[in-house]
């Protein structure tokens, strides 16, 4: 009943996700008018890059700049596999994934908990029903491969989105392995200690960059874990709009975990006014849970990525804050 002649966009996006009831078609249209042109231009440039440097073996400043501007959809799988090192790892152990699907003793509890989460993974995606068996394979293979992690809720969203993008079980497995072991080390492990550590680091970064926002959040007594644990556990999958998540992941695969902090910090910086305008904890929770993750700021992935990279942030700052956080926790 909301459909108007002006809505040129289907209620399902290009990845198969149904758009929400309150999806802002008008603003999305304005954004896409520009973004589609950008995408076309970028695709031509990427064709040239891949011709010149097909294995992306020299990740120079130019490549990094291009990646920050977004990897075009058709090249995404290939580029992710190469820049993350997942392809090299896969070539080193070519039989690993198949062998994990054929092990003798599956751990029943692990497979049961994965099975419970399958119908809950992206129920709003129209293509996903047919991919659920493959998602099960990826998650079960990984859980049996890395017993320290096993299966952690949230991995279903990461692996699910990888599968949507790559449409390839084995590549999804290797990219998942890269995320869990190199991007978010120990976030998903049994005591989640490094998740707690990085939430503390994140809080400290908020104190340093937008102190008024931290004061306001703490005055209203909203724990950072409520705001951001899903951001870190899922690397924004099933949090932000898909295109924005993929743009973040482009940079995550190229540049590592610092990008996750950049994205989280950008969420706070770009929404500073809205956060400060919340007068009680309920309003703040609604802002973080519903409003902020689908508004124009995050839907316009291009400017959101720009705001992420306009923030000052170094590896050494994160590393030194991590050390302090670990000391404080003990």
Partner 1 sequence: MSTRRTGSGPTLNFKAVLLGEGCVGKTSLVLRYMEDKFNTQHLSTLQASFVTKKVSLPDERRAQLNIWDTAGQERFHALGPIYYRGSDGALLVYDITDQDSFQKVKSWVRELKQMRGSEISLIIVGNKTDLEEQRAVSYETALRYAQTVGAQYVETSAKENEGVSELFELLTQLMLEHHGNKLQHDASSLRLQSGSSGIGISEDIDTDADNAGAAAEQRSCCGI
Tell me which residues touch partner 1 (CB under 8 A).
Answer: 113, 116-117, 119-120, 123, 152-154, 188-193, 195-196, 199-201, 203-204, 207, 211, 214-215, 218-219, 221-226, 229-230, 233-234, 279-283, 285-286, 289, 321, 324-325, 328-329
Nearer to partner 1, 169 or 198 (CB): 198
Beta bridge partners of 18: 12
**CA 230 to CA 169: how far, in whole Å?**
24
Report the C-alpha gap between 24 and 62 in whole angstroms: 34
Q: Smallest distance from the beta carbon of 136 to partner 1, in angstroms?
A: 16
Those residues whose C-beta lies under 8 Å from the C-beta of residue 94, and which sit 6 or more positions away, are none
Burial of 46 (0-12, 13-18, 19+ CB in 10 A): buried
Instruction: Choose among 143, 257, 249, 255: nearest CA to 195.
Output: 257
Looking at the chain, the number of H-run helices and the number of E-run strands are 19, 0
CB of 76 to partner 1, least distance (A): 25
Nearer CB in complex with partner 1: 171/230:
230
Comparing CB distances to partner 1, the nearer of 65 and 190 is: 190
Please report how close the Cβ of residue 285 comes to partner 1 at its closest, in angstroms: 4
CB of 330 to partner 1, least distance (A): 13
Q: Which is nearer to partner 1, 131 or 230 (CB)?
A: 230
CB of 44 to partner 1, least distance (A): 40
CB of 261 to partner 1, least distance (A): 14
Give CA–CA dist 207/311, Å, rounded: 14
CB of 32 or CB of 195, closer to partner 1 = 195
Q: How far is the CB of 191 from partner 1 (least distance, A)?
A: 5
| Cβ proximity to partner 1, 81 vs 162, nearer residue | 162
Sequence-distant (6+) residues with CB within 8 A of 308 are 248, 251, 259, 262, 263, 265, 266
Closer CB to partner 1, 79 or 264, in the complex: 264
CB of 196 to partner 1, least distance (A): 6
Q: Going by C-beta distance under 8 Å and a sequence separation of 6 or more, which residues neighbour residue 126?
A: 12, 16, 18
How far is it, in rounded angstroms, from Cα 32 to Cα 26?
10
Q: How far is CA 284 from CA 8, 222, 234, 279, in A?
A: 33, 8, 21, 8
Give the dihedral of Cα atoms 243, 228, 283, 122; nearest 10 deg: 40
Cβ nearer to partner 1, comparing 8 with 190:
190
């Amino acid at each position: 009943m909301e459909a108007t002649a002006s809505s040129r966009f289907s209620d399902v996006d290009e990845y198969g996700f149904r758009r929400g009831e309150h999806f802002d078609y008008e603003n999305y249209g304005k954004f896409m008018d520009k973004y589609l042109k950008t995408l076309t231009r970028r695709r031509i440039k990427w064709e040239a890059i891949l011709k010149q440097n097909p294995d992306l073996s020299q990740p120079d400043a130019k490549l990094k700049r291009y990646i920050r501007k977004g990897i075009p959809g058709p090249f995404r799988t290939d580029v992710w596999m190469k820049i993350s090192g997942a392809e090299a790892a896969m070539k080193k152990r070519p039989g690993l994934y198949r062998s994990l699907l054929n092990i003798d003793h599956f751990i029943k509890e692990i497979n049961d908990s994965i099975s419970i989460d399958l119908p809950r993974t992206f129920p709003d995606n129209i293509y996903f029903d047919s991919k659920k068996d493959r998602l099960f394979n990826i998650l079960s293979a990984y859980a049996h491969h890395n017993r320290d992690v096993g299966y952690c809720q949230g991995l279903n969203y990461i692996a699910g989105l990888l599968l949507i993008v790559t449409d390839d079980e084995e590549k999804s497995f290797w990219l998942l392995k890269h995320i869990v072991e190199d991007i978010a080390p120990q976030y998903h492990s049994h005591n989640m200690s490094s998740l707690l550590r990085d939430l503390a680091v994140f809080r400290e970064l908020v104190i340093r960059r937008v102190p008024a926002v931290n004061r306001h959040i703490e005055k209203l007594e909203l724990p950072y874990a409520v705001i951001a644990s899903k951001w870190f556990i899922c690397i924004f999958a099933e949090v932000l709009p898909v295109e924005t998540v993929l743009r973040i992941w482009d940079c995550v695969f190229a540049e590592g975990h610092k990008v996750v902090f950049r994205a989280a910090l950008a969420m706070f910086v770009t929404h500073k006014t809205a956060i400060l305008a919340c007068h009680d904890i309920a309003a703040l929770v609604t802002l973080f849970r519903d409003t902020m993750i689908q508004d124009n700021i995050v839907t316009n992935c291009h400017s959101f990525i720009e705001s992420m990279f306009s923030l000052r942030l170094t590896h050494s700052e994160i590393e030194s804050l991590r050390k302090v956080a670990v000391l404080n926790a003990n």
